[in-house]
Amino acid sequence: MAKYLLLKHYRGAPASVNDVSMDQWTPEEVAAHVQYMVDFAARLEETGEFVDSQGLSPEGRFVRYDGEGRPPVVDGPFAETKDLIAGWMVIDVESQERAYELAAELSAAPGAGGRPIHEWLEVRPFLTAHSRVFD
Amino acid sequence: MNESLLRELVPAVIGVLVRRGADFAAAEDAVQDALVEAVRAGGEEQPRDPKGWLITVAWRKFLDAARAESSRRGREVRAESEPEPGPAESADDTLRLYFLCAHPSLTPASAVALTLRAVGGLTTRQIAQAYLVPESTMAQRISRAKRTVAGVRFNRPGDVATVLRVLYLVFNEGYSGDVDLAAEAIRLTRQLAAMTRHEEVAGLLALMLLHHARRPARTTPDGRLVPLAEQDRGRWDTRMIAEGVEVLQAALARDRLGEFQAQAAIAALHADAPAAEETDWVQIVEWYDELVRLTGNPVARLNRAVAVGEADGARAGLAALAELDPALPRHTAAAAYLHERAGDAATAARLYAEAARQATSLPERDHLTRQAARLNAHLRG
């Protein structure tokens, strides 16, 4: 088994097919979308492939060390930042093919007009914490 | 009560319940519940007959669950509280459980989880921790696996090769949480070897022992990988090596070679060298030839190319490597190593950095990055 991160972007991914901003959907369409996500996670738990799912607030700041004894430097948010992560799901699956299959399923979540969003999801393999004994 | 002793009794007790008429899934749940009760009763003294105790408690748990189930369905309870004195315990019960839990209809991950629970006696929580997934996910994985094998006849012998693949995975997938999966894999393989006279079971046991013996030297206390050639051989477990060699020699003497015996033979040749420079690389290449002949495995070909580099010089190793698909895992790392040995530090540094980007584990990535950094520092003078 291998763990993969399915990364959802607010910004930075190529435009989805059904590219309508969520605040333009009807309340029913929003509810249907949220329900799809909940059902998807529940289904993955049942297949023994679910690890974690989290959403992130878009209100992030950049922070860095500024030298001994000085407070951290806080900057941003930068409106022009290209990439903005919305959230993720972590799955534990048999193969890369299966990871892609599940990402495609998640990408089919309904959006405006009840039609699939066809959203681009970034799929990243995890580095394992231990190296294998045998090659 | 002694948890590891109880865990060893788990497969036999499941077998007893199944022969008394419980289906496998219900029997397995009942034994787990009994185990939890035993561990909870922790401080109390060990019963005189732990197995009898576990059978009694597990059977009670099974009846409780069966009653709850039938009342849920509005049916009469037919099971008697005192079982028929069933057929005497069969030593084959445990063996059958190995086959059932590694049944070919299961995915490798499901087979691993089911084996660790029903044969190893580990709890779902322990297995979930070891594989870094939520307990609920692991519970579902195990229930699905049980449903998958629900129709499989318990008394049918299986293919020992499928069991070996599962045990190999348990050993190889690393370890975390409070369970040492490598040690657990050795325990389960040792138990299997005691029940069968299959050469490859012995081969896998020998392979595990010979690699496990090196574990104390494989990483530094802060988690860095130490390559075989740089390991402090004084930290290898010589008793474990001796056992591995003995198990391997007995298997090889039966003259039915298989891939695990061949891999163990290579591990034994490494273990046999008092220092890295004294390694018998010519013989190791011969064993890799056997391994390639037996399996055709491209990873074996890759390792063979590195061994050729040691036996016949780095140029020969690079020539062997050039015949292989560059997309093979660790191909770039092997090329980096051989280029450095051939005296081309600049190419080696570039390839190590590239190999680090392709690594699939953190320790490996960090190791390859350090190699690249070492060579780059050297090149800057």
Q: Please state, rounded to an integer, the average pLDDT across all residues of chain B.
A: 91
Query: Do B329 and A135 make contact, defined as CB atoms within 8 angstroms?
Result: yes
Whole-number pLDDT of residue A22: 87
SS3 readout for B91-108: CHHHHHHHHHHCCCCCCH
Average pLDDT over residues A91-120: 96
Expressed as residue numbers, the domain containing A99 is: 2-125
Residues in chain B within 8 Å Cβ distance of A47:
140-141, 144
Whole-number pLDDT of residue B271: 96
Whole-number pLDDT of residue B3: 81
- Indicate whether B183 pLDDT > 80: yes
Whichever domain contains A76, its CATH number is 3.30.70.1060
Strand partners, B361: A128
Whole-number pLDDT of residue B83: 53
Comparing A112-126, B147-161, B319-333, the range with the smallest average pLDDT is B147-161
Annotated domain spans of chain B: 3-72, 280-381
- Indicate whether B153 pLDDT > 90: no
* Residue A37 belongs to some domain of the structure: yes
Residues in chain B within 8 Å Cβ distance of A3:
132
* Residue A86 belongs to some domain of the structure: yes
Whole-number pLDDT of residue B146: 96
ipTM over 0.90? The verdict is no
Query: Do B360 and A127 make contact, defined as CB atoms within 8 angstroms?
Result: yes
Whole-number pLDDT of residue B176: 65
Half-sphere exposure of A74 (CA within 13 A, CB side): 4
Question: How many domains are there within chain A?
Answer: 1
Residues in chain B within 8 Å Cβ distance of A50:
133-134, 136-137
Per-residue pLDDT reduced to its tens digit, B40-94 = 876 666 778 889 999 999 999 999 999 998 887 776 555 545 555 555 556 688 8
Q: Determine contact: B330 vs chain A, CB below 8 A.
A: yes
The C-alpha angle with vertex B120 and arms to B159 and B242, in degrees rounded to 5, equals 80
- Indicate whether B215 pLDDT > 70: yes
Whole-number pLDDT of residue B40: 80
Confidence class for position B298, pLDDT limits 50, 70, 90: very high
Whole-number pLDDT of residue B167: 97
Whole-number pLDDT of residue B228: 95
* Residue A28 belongs to some domain of the structure: yes
Torsion over CA of B340, B228, B165 and B261, rounded to 10 degrees?
A: 100
Beta strand extents in chain B (DSSP E only):
none
CATH number of B280-381: 1.25.40.10
Give the predicted TM-score (pTM) of the model.
0.90
Confidence class for position B31, pLDDT limits 50, 70, 90: very high
> Cα separations (Å) of A41 from A52, A66, A89, B72, B143?
9, 41, 9, 29, 18
Per-residue pLDDT reduced to its tens digit, A33-86 = 999 999 999 999 999 999 999 999 888 889 999 999 999 999 987 776 678 889
* Residue A130 belongs to some domain of the structure: no
* Residue A134 belongs to some domain of the structure: no
